[in-house]
Amino acid sequence: MQNRHLFMRSHTLCKLLMVTMLFGVGRLSIGVAYSQSLSLNTISTIAKSDPLVITGAVGTQNTYRYTSVGNGYASPLSNSIYANLNISVYGISMPFALYFTNDGLDWNYPHLNFRLTPAYKNWRGHFGQSSMAFSSYVMNTSFNGIGLEYTSDKYRGGAFYGVLRKAINDDPTDPLARTPQYKRVGWGFKAGYGTGKNYIDLYFLRAYDRPNSIDESWRRYITPQENLVIGLKGALAPLKWLSFTGNAAVSLFSADTDAPKVDSISQRFDKIMDIRYSSSARFAGDANVNLTFPGFSTSLTYRIVQPDYASLGTYYMANNYHSLGVNMNAMLFRKVALSGTFSGQSDNLTNQQMYTTRGFIYNANASTRIGKYLSLSGGYNGYTQVQGDGTVKVNDTTRVHRRMASFTVSPSFMMERDALVHSASFSANYTSNKDLNKFAIGESDVKTTALGASYTIGVKSWNTDFGLTLSNQCSKGYKTKYVSRIATLATGHTFFEENPLSVSGSISLVYNEVERQSKSLSIGGEVSASYTLKKYHVFSTSATFYKYGDVNPTKLRSNLDCTDITVSLNYAYTFSLLHIKKKENRKINQSKFVKKVTDISEGFSE
C-alpha cells in the first residue's frame, strides 16, 4: 500500500512537472515553502487569465493653419499618426506603441517613435522610446533602447541601455541648417529596498556623446561630452510624527572628451571613465526634516547644487546655489485650510562671480467652505531679490534690489437643482513689482490689477451648458499704461444617447490698448464637434476664425485686416482584435490541477 502511495505521488509529480514546463512558469522547487508558494501563485494567475487578448487603438491628428501675416511662427500643416497595441498572453501584458509626426509640407524631419513595454507581475520591460524613474539629479529624460524593471513591496531595481539624444547633423553648407548636436548614448541601473517611510535607493548613470555622429566641420564649434553620475536617495521615519528624507548625487563630468587625459588619475578609473583636463566632480543634493501632527505639518528643507554641476541624463538644471526653506500646513476647526512657505536662496558659492544674488520667497494661502454652496480662497505671494558683493563691490547706484508682491481673492459658488446647475466664480488679483534701490526713479516699476468673473448654467433636460466669462487687466508702469479686456460667450450641447454627438462653440472679443501708442481689437470664434460611433470610433473636428488689427483712429490703417484660421480633423479607433476566452471545461480542469498541486504541497509539508 505504501509503495502504491509513493507511485501515485511520483506519477502526479511527473504530470505536474510536464504541465509546468508547458506553461513556462519556471522551475519547480520541492522542499522550499517560498518557491512552492510562488509557483502556485503563478499557476493560479494563469488559470484565471484568458489565453490571448489583443486590444489597441489607431488614430490620426491633422491641423491646418492659415494666417495673413505669414507662417513664421507655425507650420501651415501638421500631421500625426499613432497606433497602440496591447497583447496579453495568460496575463502577461505586452504594450506596443508607434507614433509618427511631422510639421510642414516638405516632410524634411519626420519623427518616428516606437515603444513596447511588456509587463508581468513585478516585472516590466522597456523596448524603444521609454523612460524609467530615476533621481531628479541623475536622470529625468527618456531613452530609446531597452530596459528592465522589477518592483515588489520592498525590493525594486532596474537597468537600461539606449540613446538619450538623437544626432542633428544637417549639411553645414545649408543656410537653414539646424543647430548640430551629438548622438548621446547612456546606460544605468538602480536598486532599492524599503517602503514609503523607510527606504534607500541607489542610482548609477553613464552617458557619453558619439564624436562621429556629426560632420567633422561641426566639431570645430561644439565638443563631445561624457558623464558619470551616482545618486543616493532615502527616507527614515523613527517616529510616527518625525521623518527624514534625502536625495544626493555626485557627477563626474567632462566638457570635452578630446581634451588630454590626466594620466596620474585616469589609470585608477580607466575602466569606468577617463579623467581629463576638462573633467570636474560636483555635488548636488537636498535634505528634509518633516514633522506631522493631527491638523498640522511642517518641513525644513536644505538644498545645494555646486557650480557647474551637470548630468547628461537631465534637462537644464540651475546650479551654483544653495537654499533653506520651511513649509507649514494646518487645518483650523476642520474647515479652514492654511499653508505657508518661506525660503531663502543664494548663489556664488565659490565667490567667483562678480556679484552675489540672494532671493527670498514667501507665501501664505487660506481656503474654506462657507455653507453648502460657497467656497472662498485667498493668498499672498512675495519675492525679494538683493544683490551683494562678489569679486567686485556693488555700486549703490546700480544695485539690484527688487520686491514683488501679489494678493489674490477667489470666491466661487455652485448649486445644483433638479433642472439646472449654477456655477459662478470671481477672482481679484493685485501685483506690485517695485525697484527698492534708493536711487531708482521707478522706470521699471509695474503695478497690475486683474479682475475676472464667470458664470455657467447647465440645463439638464436639454443636455446644454451656457457660459459667460469676463476679464479685465490693467498694468501701470513708468509713464505707460496697458489695458486688456476679454469677453467670451460659450455653449455646448450633447445629442443622442447611444452614439453621442457633442457640439460646442464660443465667441470672443478681445481689446488691448497701450496708452498713447496702440489700440487693437480681435473678434472671432471657435466651433468643435465630436461624434462617437458604436463606442469604438471617435471623430472630432474643430475650427477657429479670428479677425484682428489696429483700431487706433489716429493711425492711417484702422481696420481688422489680419486673419487667423485653424482647422483640425482627428480620428481615433479603439478595437479588440482577438479575444480567446478560456473554456468552461478547461477552467474546471485548471481548478482541479491547482487543487492537486495544493494537496501535494500539503502532503510534503506533513
Nearest alpha carbon to residue 322 among 350, 294, 363, 364: 350
Confidence at 183, pLDDT banded by 50, 70, 90:
very high
pLDDT digits (tens, 9 = 90+) for 565-576: 999 999 999 988
Contact predicate 388/355, CB 8 Å: yes
Least confident window among 32-36, 452-456, 498-502: 32-36
Confidence at 71, pLDDT banded by 50, 70, 90:
low
- pLDDT at position 248 over 90: yes
Q: How far is CA 10 from CA 4, 590, 600, in A?
A: 10, 20, 10
Tell me, what DSSP letter sits at residue 179? P
Q: What is the pLDDT of residue 270?
A: 66
Please give the residue that has the higher pLDDT: either 27 or 461. 461
Residues 6+ apart with CB under 8 A from 576: 53, 54, 55
- Distance between CA 181 and CA 215 in Å, rounded? 10
Tell me, what DSSP letter sits at residue 141? S
- Distance between CA 250 and CA 270 in Å, rounded? 18
Average pLDDT over residues 321-345: 95
Q: What is the pLDDT of residue 93?
A: 72
Confidence at 408, pLDDT banded by 50, 70, 90:
very high
pLDDT digits (tens, 9 = 90+) for 107-121: 455 556 778 888 888
Q: What is the pLDDT of residue 447?
A: 97
Q: Rounded to the nearest 5°, which phi and psi values hold at 76? A: -70, -25
Confidence at 554, pLDDT banded by 50, 70, 90:
low
Q: What is the pLDDT of residue 102?
A: 74
Q: Rounded to the nearest 5°, which phi and psi values hold at 600? A: -65, -45
The most confident of the ranges 34-43, 117-126, 485-494 is: 485-494
Confidence at 606, pLDDT banded by 50, 70, 90:
very low
Q: What is the pLDDT of residue 161?
A: 97
Neighbours of 37 (CB within 10 A): 12
pLDDT digits (tens, 9 = 90+) for 436-449: 998 888 889 999 99
* Average pLDDT of the chain to the nearest whole number: 84
Average pLDDT over residues 91-104: 73
Q: What is the pLDDT of residue 24?
A: 34
Please give the residue that has the higher pLDDT: either 188 or 557. 188
Q: What is the pLDDT of residue 588?
A: 47
Nearest alpha carbon to residue 529 among 540, 519, 537, 521: 540
| Helices and strands per DSSP (H, E), number in the chain | 4, 27
Confidence at 537, pLDDT banded by 50, 70, 90:
very high
String of DSSP letters for 472-505: EEEEEETTEEEEEEEEEEEEEEEE-SSS-EEEEE
Please give the residue that has the higher pLDDT: either 21 or 91. 91
Three-state DSSP state, 34: helix
pLDDT digits (tens, 9 = 90+) for 190-236: 999 998 889 999 999 999 999 999 998 898 889 999 999 999 999 99
Confidence at 171, pLDDT banded by 50, 70, 90:
confident
String of DSSP letters for 406-441: EEEEEEEEEEE-SSEEEEEEEEEEEEEEEE--TT--
Q: What is the pLDDT of residue 69?
A: 78
**Conformation bin of residue 586: beta by default, left when phi > 0, alpha when psi is -120 to 50:** alpha
**Count of CA atoms in the C-beta half-sphere (13 A) of 112:** 3
Percent of the chain topping pLDDT 90: 60
Average pLDDT over residues 32-50: 46
pLDDT digits (tens, 9 = 90+) for 255-291: 999 999 887 765 666 677 888 899 999 999 999 999 9
